Amino acid sequence: MPAPDTLVPVGKIIGTHGIRGLLKVFSFSGNMESLNAAGTITLKSSDGSLQKHAVASLVAHGGKFLIGLKGFENINQVLHLVGSEICLLRSQLPETEEDEYYWCDLIGLSVATVDGIELGTISDIFESGASDIYVVTGKDREYLIPAIADVISSVDLADGRMLITPLEGLLDL
C-alpha cells in the first residue's frame, strides 16, 4: 500500500467554465467527497511540475464537477491549468471498505487464474457501464477482465497479486 504522502490522481482539469475562473473537472471516481473534504489539492501539470492550491468551491455540473481555487478569480488566471491532473495525498483519501480498492493500488498487480495460469499484470483500468474493466497485459496479448465478484476471486495487495476465476470464453476473446 502506498505511503500516506503519496500523490494519488483523482481527476483531470478538462476545461474552463465561465469567466470567473472556474475549472471543469473529470473525476476518475465520479465522486467528489474526497475532493470536498480535502480542502487543498495538488495539481500535476503535463511537464510533471506540482502546485498546491486551496479549494474555494466545488459543485456537480452536467456529469462533471466545477472547482474554484482560492486566489483565481477570472478565466485568464486559470487557462494554464487546463490539462493538469488533480491529485490528493493518500492520507486525504477515505479508507476503503472490504473488497473495495483504489485504482492506483491495483495497477501493477500480477494476475493469474485460480488454476495457476499466469496472465500478466494490470496495466490500466477503465469504466464500462456495468463495472470497471481491468486491462491485463501478458507476454503475448492483453486480456480484458471485468471487475465483478463472479470473476475476481481474491486480491492480495501485500503480495501484489489478484486471482481470477474466468467465465467461460473470457480468456478466448
Residue 37 has pLDDT above 60, yes or no: yes
In the chain, list all ranges with CATH 2.30.30.240.
103-172
Task: Label each residue of 81-104 as H, E or C.
Answer: HCCCEEEEEHHHCCCCCCCCCCHH
Q: What is the pLDDT of residue 117?
A: 95
pLDDT digits (tens, 9 = 90+) for 80-120: 999 999 999 988 888 888 888 888 899 999 999 999 999 99
Assign domain 7-91 to a CATH class.
mainly beta
No. of helices (H) and no. of strands (E), the chain? 3, 12
Nearest-angstrom CA–CA distance, 100 and 112: 19
Tell the CATH topology of 103-172.
SH3 type barrels. (2.30.30)
35 pLDDT band, cuts 50/70/90, is confident
Residue 138 has pLDDT above 60, yes or no: yes
Q: What is the pLDDT of residue 92?
A: 86
Contact in structure between 130 and 149 (CB atoms under 8 Å): no
Q: What is the pLDDT of residue 107?
A: 93
Q: What is the pLDDT of residue 104?
A: 85
Q: 97 CB contacts (<8 Å, ≥6 apart)?
A: none
Sign of CA dihedral 50, 108, 38, 81: positive
Q: What is the pLDDT of residue 172?
A: 86
- The predicted model scores a pTM of 0.73
pLDDT digits (tens, 9 = 90+) for 43-74: 999 899 999 999 999 998 887 899 999 999 99
In the chain, list all ranges with CATH 2.40.30.60.
7-91
Nearest-angstrom CA–CA distance, 82 and 60: 18
Residue 153 has pLDDT above 90, yes or no: yes
